[in-house]
């Protein structure tokens, strides 16, 4: 049996440079893996199945460490199952696998949870089924399933362009401590991008991505905070004002910067040390409870 960690990601910057004829947006982003992860178990089987591991582990809900996976379906529409089927079809094999997924990454969060799970399935099943694929083939398979999957297959810190397929690794990079929360329900990526397309591009607060890239590599948090921006944050805040309120609350507790990741709705704050992050997290929890913002947690970035 194989056990794989499917790490979430954050966007340090997110800029949209244009739109292709097929409707896909051209991106310029700094993305980095974080320690928070889902877990995927794979074992050989006669058929291809996907199960919710949380339902099989009564101790999980009692422990309170995993977030609810109620919004996730474990049928053929799940990206894990779709990735497994696409890999099997591409390699022209009829092998099966019992796949069990334990969710921790929240849904509709902008943290790439589904894409991380699919990437873990692709890498794990290549090993389980003893397949031979080049890295280029694996990345193309991933891209055909979702724009975030090539980065999730690569991980670490990277500059990501195109529709997600242009990846320039920047690892290793120093780890940075974060306080995170999802202050509202998940957002539809399609709806957020649709609202963005209606904006006047001259009114956008764009990130200084080159400056942020240099700040990350040199661990200059002050410069990083000034350079960060997410062009989708404005439309997401308009739909869910709690996103902006939570970001400001994190900054009031000492975050160098509070910002939404991806298309939302998770917000994170950047802190200079683990101790500062843990202190802020403790202070943020009653604020979040009072405002109905849900759980607050601490994590850190992964450099490679």
Q: What is the CATH number of domain 2-169?
A: 3.30.230.10
pLDDT at 56: 67
Distance from C-alpha of 224 to C-alpha of 256, rounded to nearest angstrom: 8
What is the number of alpha carbons within 13 Å of residue 180 lying toward its C-beta? 26
pLDDT at 65: 44
CATH 3.30.230.10 in the chain: give the residue spans: 2-169
Runs of H (alpha helix) within the chain: 58-63, 79-91, 113-128, 135-145, 149-154, 189-197, 209-218, 221-227, 233-239, 242-252, 274-291
CA of 217: how far to CAs of 33, 104, 221, in Å?
Answer: 14, 28, 10
CATH class (in words) of the domain with range 177-300: alpha beta
pLDDT at 55: 82
What's the pLDDT tens digit per position in 133-178?
Answer: 999 999 999 999 999 999 999 999 999 999 999 999 997 888 999 9
Distance from C-alpha of 128 to C-alpha of 29, rounded to nearest angstrom: 33
**Which segments in the chain show pLDDT lower than 50?**
58-69
| Residues taking part in catalysis | 9, 148
pLDDT at 57: 61
First to last CA, the chain: 25
Residue of 166, 161, 142 whose CA lies nearest to 209? 161
CATH 3.30.70.890 in the chain: give the residue spans: 177-300
pLDDT at 304: 64
Neighbours of 238 (CB within 10 A): 11
């Amino acid at each position: 049996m194989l056990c794989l960690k499917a790490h979430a990601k954050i966007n340090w910057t997110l800029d949209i440079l244009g739109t292709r004829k097929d409707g896909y947006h051209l991106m310029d982003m700094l993305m980095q893996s974080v320690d928070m992860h889902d877990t995927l178990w794979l074992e050989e089987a006669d058929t291809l199945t996907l199960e919710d591991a949380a339902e099989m582990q009564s101790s999980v809900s009692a422990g309170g460490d995993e977030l609810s996976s109620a919004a996730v379906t474990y049928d053929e529409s799940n990206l894990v199952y779709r990735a497994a089927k696409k890999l099997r079809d591409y390699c022209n094999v009829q092998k099966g696998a019992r796949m069990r997924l334990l969710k921790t990454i929240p849904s509709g969060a902008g943290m790439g949870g589904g894409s991380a799970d699919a990437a873990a399935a692709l890498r794990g099943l290549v090993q389980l089924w003893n397949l031979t694929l080049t890295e280029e083939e694996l990345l193309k398979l991933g891209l055909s399933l979702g724009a975030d999957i090539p980065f999730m297959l690569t991980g670490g810190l990277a500059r990501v362009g195109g529709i997600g397929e242009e990846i320039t690794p920047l690892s290793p990079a120093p780890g940075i401590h974060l306080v995170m929360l999802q202050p509202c329900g998940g957002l539809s990526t399609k709806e957020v991008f649709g609202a963005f397309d209606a904006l006047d591009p001259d009114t956008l607060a764009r990130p200084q991505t080159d400056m942020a890239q240099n700040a990350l590599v040199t661990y200059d948090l002050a410069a990083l905070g000034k350079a960060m921006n997410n062009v989708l944050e404005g439309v997401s805040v308009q739909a869910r004002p709690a996103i902006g309120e939570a970001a400001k609350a994190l900054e009031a507790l000492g975050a160098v910067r509070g910002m939404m990741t991806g298309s939302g709705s998770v917000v994170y704050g950047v802190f200079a040390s683990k101790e500062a992050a843990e202190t802020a997290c403790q202070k943020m929890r009653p604020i979040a409870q009072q405002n109905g913002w849900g759980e607050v947690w601490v994590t850190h970035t992964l450099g490679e």
